[in-house]
Structure 1
């Protein structure tokens, strides 16, 4: 689909970096990096982005490889469209459908990860509300069962709703 005009093997570099990042357990990597970074919303966002990008990257790559084999890409090549035009007009819009479908599932996983980090005390700053921090605070009073039940139900409901949204998009 695209001619090699790049001097660097971009695909190999991106996949190698993704494989290297995936070889370390995500929670261990985040805890190690959180010890170095400051506890802020921006820091947490950068930390989660840095550790979570391999999954969407693999998904986009797989979809682009699938789309590249479709007949209309050959037709676009035959009428003389450049590689960039094919990529931006045809390949990425068709790959975006699958990425858009998988997005709620990724968001569900990121919510669970942020909750875990906040529960452990390395997530959001203490002045920001978090389900993980609420659940961690409930450990101080084991007789107050409602401090655990309601945040846990809301967290479970949110993640299950996001997963159901993904299931509905796949079956539609």
Structure 2
């Protein structure tokens, strides 16, 4: 799901930011349309329609198809900043093709914020999968999922509370770990932001 989210975000964000003009307008409006749809709600609808095919690939597709606009927006703004750099102007002046400039110079220098947002997106995707499974539209009850565990533990809450506590703690610690990893990556990749704190 993160692979799909990052891939779509990289493609749409880099093309929109680098080429600009009509392509930027079309891709940005497409991103706005997807951004306006809450991806949990969209995933609930998709998983309800495809209830006969509930597996990890379908749930990854349902979440990934609607969560890419934030990655695309971050990358687009970074590409807009980087493409004004002197080395991009020099590459244009010596006659390199636009695609070569994009993949050789602009994209590698714009990727740092995408790495940060990817770790944060991973935490959100784990939460989304657990939410869908808890609601009964995610992974089947036979598949291991913290959402399924939490949902099944509701019945035994008064007599056996640890069946709810352990998966809840595991989910919280995992999500918090990816959020902290994103913060650490941001500090490592952007020392100026660290100095301002």
Please indicate, yes or no, whether the TM-score normalized by the shorter chain is above 0.5.
Answer: yes
Please tell me whether residue 154 in structure 1 is matched to residue 170 in structure 2: yes
Report the CA distance between 1:127 and its aligned residue: 2.3
Q: What is the CA–CA distance in structure 2 between the aligned matches of 1:158 and 1:85, rounded to whole Å?
A: 39
Report the CA distance between 1:99 and its aligned residue: 0.8
> Could you report, residue by residue, the CA deviation over 1:6-64 in whole angstroms, capped at 9, with x for unpaired residues?
xx933222211211122222222221222112312221111111111111111221111
Q: Which residue of 2 aligns with 1:10?
A: 23
Q: How does 1:135-146 map to 2 (within 5 A)?
A: 135-143=150-158, 144-146=160-162
Please tell me whether residue 106 in structure 1 is matched to residue 121 in structure 2: yes
Q: Which residue of 1 aligns with 2:3?
A: none
The 3-state SS of whatever aligns with 2:24 is helix
Report the CA distance between 1:107 and its aligned residue: 0.2
The 3-state SS of whatever aligns with 2:65 is helix
Q: What is the CA–CA distance in structure 2 between the aligned matches of 1:149 and 1:101, rounded to whole Å?
A: 30
Q: Which residue of 2 aligns with 1:28?
A: 41
Q: What is the CA–CA distance in structure 2 between the aligned matches of 1:46 and 1:3, rounded to whole Å?
A: 28
Report the CA distance between 1:129 and its aligned residue: 0.4
Please tell me whether residue 166 in structure 1 is matched to residue 182 in structure 2: yes
Contact 2:130/2:147 (8 A) holds in 1: yes
> Could you report, residue by residue, the CA deviation over 1:134-169 in whole angstroms, capped at 9, with x for unpaired residues?
000010111211011111111111111111111111
| Higher fraction of helix | 2
The 3-state SS of whatever aligns with 2:66 is helix
Contact 2:132/2:147 (8 A) holds in 1: yes
Q: Which runs of 5+ in 2 are unaligned?
A: 1-16, 189-197
TM-score, length-normalised on structure 1? 0.90
Note the aligned Cα RMSD (angstroms). Answer: 1.9
> Number of residues paired by the alignment?
169
Q: Which residue of 1 aligns with 2:136?
A: 121
Report the CA distance between 1:122 and its aligned residue: 0.8
